[in-house]
Amino acid sequence: MRVATGLMACGAIPNPDMPFNSEATRYEQRFGSFAFMQRPMPLLYDQYTAAMDVTGASLILTCLQLHV
């Protein structure tokens, strides 16, 4: 998933249009059923976006620049 996010960030693959709902809504729908579990604690959307942030991933971005 991080590689796909990095490829989208550098423009190597197009970011798909999602006209019907936001990324946050899709996340809530996809992982909402896990919210009732006690262990492990469900990942919040803000934690998910922080984990998927490729801003500081210089190695991934360097690799992507070599292939673009």
Chain segment 35-64, per-residue pLDDT in tens: 777 777 778 999 888 888 877 666 666 666
Tell me the whole-structure pTM to 2 decimals: 0.40
What is the span of the domain harbouring residue 48? Answer: 2-67
Top pLDDT among 26 and 35 is at 26
| Domain count for the chain | 1
Q: What average pLDDT does the chain have?
A: 79
Q: Tokens standing for 63?
A: 């690799």
Q: How many helices (H) and strands (E) would you count in the chain?
A: 4, 0
Give the burial string for 25-42 (b: 16+ CB within 10 Å, else e).
Answer: eeeeeeeeeeeeeeeeee
pLDDT of residue 57: 64
Percent of the chain residues topping a pLDDT of 70:
81
How far is residue 18's CA from residue 53's CA, in Å, rounded to a whole number?
19
Torsion from C-alpha of 39, 56, 16, 27, nearest 10 degrees:
20
